[in-house]
Every structure is written in structure tokens, then in C-alpha cells.
Chain A
Amino acid sequence: MNNYTNDNTARRYKAHVSVLGTTQIHLRNPYIIGWWSAAFPGFGHLLLSKYLRGYALFIWEVIVNIRAHVNLAMVYSFQGNIDLAKEVLDTRWLLMYIPVYLFGIWDSYRTTVDMNKIYLLANSEDHRFNTFSLGAVEMNYLDKRNPVISVMWSLFVPGLGQLYIHRILTAFFVIFWVVVFFYYSHIQEAVSLLFLGKVQQATSVLNPEWLLFLPSHYGFATFDAYMNTVENNKLYEEEQKNYLKRNYQATGFRILKGQKVK
């Protein structure tokens, strides 16, 4: 059940509320979106709510990176051990990694610039869009949420911030992969050992290849949750103001010019 049925009378819409989430076109910094694609292919597209592209690039990254040992080579390179880095890279997988990695950055940058133009046009057109969605499996509506709470849950476990703001398609994906990365990196064992003060042992139990996926996963999940909370709040306010203007500005209404009374 939606409170508005898209009759395609608008040339461009700036938002859509569905049971799976609130999709919005808003102004974004193309360099920041490009950066997240560089941190992890697919993240830029997920930030833009282009899920299928994002999923494809993300899964590509995990498979090809692990097979080619790109992360391991990065660890060795950062440690200054270039010979070991060269040795560990698997040339059977390596070359195809590069074009797709660069494509992810370029395409998300390009799309952001494009979508910013679309936003300006959609915003001046300011057409009505669906704001309430009630279905058998979920419900979603425009609402104000606290960005700090989004960040807090994202820092506990990436993906929870997205659940909080009803960004289901990102939430499920991020949570699935965080479990994979937690498991294969052995990070939770290492954290337990750190609590016991066994630092050496904690280091040796970690798998660097899988561990290196985690910082960008945390960073992305937190940033995505925060940004979308803020943007959803702005959308809520805009929509409410438009609603009030449409319904509560009768032409016959006259302001009294008397005195303020107690």
C-alpha cells in the first residue's frame, strides 16, 4: 500500500519510498563517492543506491583480490617488503583486477556528477513522490532519525546503522559480508586475546589478507548510514513543508492585527 501511485507525470522524481528502503537523489561530492570506490569497488555505487552494480563489483573484488593476493601484496608493500609483494601476487588472476578496479572509481565519479544535475532539475520540478509504504513483509515511511545513533550502531556491527534507517538492501549485504570477513580474518579471536593482554598471539592468529577488507567495510557502513540518515531527515522536512503549503494555506485566511493577549 502506497500513499501515492506514480502516474509518471513528472519528468524526474527526486525520491521514492518503498518497502525496501528510501531511495533519494541528492547532491553528493563526486570525489568522495570516487574515493569509496577506490577503498572497495562497489561502495561508491552502493552509496548511490545502485545496488546491482555495487554487488557485482564488490563480489568481483573479494574473489579476484583473494585469488590474486592483492591484499597480501599491499601488506608487504606497506611494510617495505617489495620483493615479497612481487612474489606473492598471482599473475594468473592479477591483470583483470586493474581495469575493473579503475572502472568502479571512474563510473561512480561520472554517475555522481550526472546525478547532481538530475537532482537540480528534479528539485526545481518538485513533483510529488511516494512517502509511505506498507506491505506484507515490511513497512517504510519518511521519518527523522538520529545520525549519531546510526554511527553508533554501525561501529558496533556494520550494517546495523542501515537497518536502523531502513536501508534493507545495503544492510543485508553488509551484514553478510562482515560475518565472512570476521570469520576468515580471525579478528574476533585476536580481539579476545588482546583483552587478555596476549598481543603477540593476537597478531599471529590474524589472517592479513582478510583483515584488510575490514577497515573499508567499517568506514563505508558508518559513512553510508550517517549520510543517509541526514539526507532522509532533510527529505522528511522538505516533504512536510510542501504538504503544509498544499493543505494549510487557504486564500481566505486573514491575520488579526489586534493585541497579544494573555
Chain B
Amino acid sequence: MISLQLFSTYESNAFLEIAISALKKKGIKQEDIFAVPLDNRTEERKVFDSLHRSDGISLVDIGMALATAFSVVGASIGFKLAWGPIYWGLISAFIGFVLGFAIRLITELVLKKKKRVLRGKHSEIILIIDCKETQAELIENILWNHFALGVAKVN
């Protein structure tokens, strides 16, 4: 029997585990499946970026804070203005948010010269399956059907 290996990459999600369980049902042994979780560059950067900041929310945190503050003041003053407190509350919330967001963008993009961040889907896990040549097509189909980002066969 000729041995064959299938390399595939995945996003980190439930489909990956469903794919593995499907493979096991088809007789692939656990020790013939090898998974390599990748350290993605965005995540690396986040952890070292700052100790005191919650990552991922960094772009909206000041925006939400300023939106709330502006909205309270805007709604209060709005009682005296022609458009009333609701419109002015919403307008000032929007202004606050845009202002806070702009502050964040400036600090992130201009002051920190950020590394380029990968956009959209990217590979987070490499999955390697060791199998017989006869099983290759079946396994390849299982991998593709569970949203592998890429698959390659090596003999």
C-alpha cells in the first residue's frame, strides 16, 4: 500500500472538530491525525502591544465612552434647543463616538505604525492526515466539505 499525507489549513471553528470526528468514523486513527495550531501575527502583536488594554475592543472603547458622555450632555442641553433632547442626544452620541474612534485610529495608525494585520479569513490550524492512497479521495472530500481553506496531497 502506498502511503499518502493530506495537508490542510483551517480557521479555528467547530467545523474543524466535526471534520476530525468524521475522519475517525471512516477509520482514521487518532495518531494518524496531526494538528499544528498557528500563532497568528495579530494575536502575537496584541499580547505584547500593551498590558493594560483589552485587545480587539481597542478601536471602539474610547468611542463608546465619549458617545455616552456626549449624549448625556447633549440630551440635557437639548431640552432647551429646537430639536429637543432625543435628537440632540443621538447627534451628540454620534459625534462623541466618531471623535473617540478618530482618536483611537490616530494613536493606532499614525503614532504606533502598526504592522499590517491580516484581513478576512486566514489559516489558524494546519491539519495533516496520514492515510493509504485508496482513502485519499474520501478524506480530501471530507476536508473540503468542512470548509478547509486549502488542501494538498503529498506522497
Contacts and interface: CB of A to CB of B under 8 A. Distances in A.
A binds B: yes
Interface string B79-96: 110111111010001000
B130 A208 contact: no
Interface stretch (A6-14, A59-67, A96-104, A232-240): A232-240
Interface stretch (A128-136, A156-164, A210-218): A210-218
B68 A248 contact: no
A247 B57 contact: no
B86 A29 contact: no
A241 B37 contact: yes
Nearest to A144: B13
B64 A219 contact: yes
A17 to B, nearest CB: 15
A175 interface: no
B54 A27 contact: yes
Interface stretch (B28-36, B115-123, B141-149): B28-36
Given A32-B61, A211-B85, A258-B155, A74 B72 contact: yes
Contacts of B73: 78
Main secondary structure of the interface of A (DSSP, over half): helix
B71 interface: yes
A27 B52 contact: yes
Interface in A180-199: 187, 190-191, 194, 199
A42 B78 CA distance: 27
A70 to B, nearest CB: 12
B131 to A, nearest CB: 11
A137 interface: no
A262 B6 CA distance: 11
A29 B62 CA distance: 11
Contacts of B98: none
A79 interface: yes
Interface in A220-262: 220, 222-223, 226-227, 230-231, 234, 236-237, 240-241, 244-245, 247-250, 252-253, 255-262
B65 A256 contact: no
A202 interface: yes
9 contacts: A27-B54, A30-B52, A32-B65, A208-B76, A216-B68, A226-B57, A231-B54, A248-B34, A260-B153
Given A28-B53, A240-B37, A253-B34, 10 more contacts: A26-B54, A79-B77, A194-B87, A208-B79, A227-B61, A230-B56, A234-B55, A236-B12, A247-B35, A250-B32
Interface of A: 26-30, 32, 35-36, 39, 74-75, 77-79, 113, 116, 120, 143-144, 147, 187, 190-191, 194, 199-200, 202-203, 206, 208, 211-212, 215-216, 218-220, 222-223, 226-227, 230-231, 234, 236-237, 240-241, 244-245, 247-250, 252-253, 255-262
